[in-house]
Structure 1
Amino acid sequence: MRNLHTICAVITVYLFFFCCFFPSSVHSEAQKVIRVAGDNNFPPFEYLSDSGVYTGFNVDIMNAISIETGIRFEYYPMPWNEAVQAMRTGKVDAIQGMKYSQEREEIYDFSAPYFTSSQGIFVLKDNMYIRKIEDLKGRKVAVQKGDVASGLLSKVDGLQLVETNNQQEAVQSLIDGKVDAFIGNRITGQYFLQKNEQQSLIKIVGEPLDTTKYAVAVMPKNKELLTLFNQAISQIKKDGTYEKIEKKWFGEYILPNTQRLRKTLLYLEIGLILTFIVISLILWWNLSLKREVAKRTEQIEHVNKDLEEKMLLLEENINFQQQVLNSAYSSLITLNQQGLVSMINVRAMEYLGVDGNVVGKRFQDLPTARFIPEKEIKAALEKKRVFLQKETVWSHYASKKRHITYSMYPIQTIGGESVGAVLNFFDSTEQKQLERKVAQDDRLRSLGQLVAGIAHEIRNPLTSILTYTQLLPKKFASADFRTFFSEQVTSEITRLNTLINDLLDYSRPKKSEPVTFSLNDAMAGIELLLKPKIKEKNLSIVREFAGDIQATADKQQIKQVLVNVILNAIQASNIGGTLIFRAYYRDVFTVVEIEDEGIGISEEDIDKIFEPFYTRKPNGVGLGLSITYQLVKENDGTIETRSEVGKGTVVTICLQH
Structure 2
Amino acid sequence: MFTKLILRVCGDCRYPPFEFLNDDGVFKGFNVDILKAIGKEVGVEIYFRAMPWSEAIRAVQDGIFDAIQGMALSARRQDIFDFTEAYLVVSHSVFVLRDRYDILTLNDLKGLKVAVQKDDISYDLINTHLGSAKTFLHYIFTADQGEALNELIEGKVDAFIGNRLTGTYLAQKMGHIDKIRLVGQPISPQAYAIAVSRGRKQLVEIFNKGLRAIKENGVYDRICEKWFGLVAEDLNSHIIDSVDVGVIGLNRMGIITSINSYACKILNIKSHNLIGKYALETELVRYFDFGIVYETMATGKAFVDHEIEIKNGKQSLLSYNIFPLYGESNKVIGVVISLRDITLEKHLRENLARKDKMESLGMLLANIAHEIRNPIMAIKTFVEALPVQYGNPRFRAEMLKYVPMEIERLNKLVGELLQYARPRAPVRKWCNLNEIVNSVMVLFQGQVNSGIDFDVQIDTSLRIWADEQQLKQILINLILNATEAIKEKGKVKITAGKGQDGVWIEVEDDGCGISSEHLGHIFDPFYTTKEKGTGLGLFITYQLVKENHGDIRVFSQKGRGTRFKITFYQEVRYGENSDNR
**TM-score, normalisation: structure 1:** 0.43
Q: Which structure ranks higher in relative contact order (CA pairs < 8 Å, sequence separation ≥ 6)?
A: 2
* Structure whose alpha-carbon radius of gyration is higher: 1
Q: Return the structure number with greater strand share.
A: 2
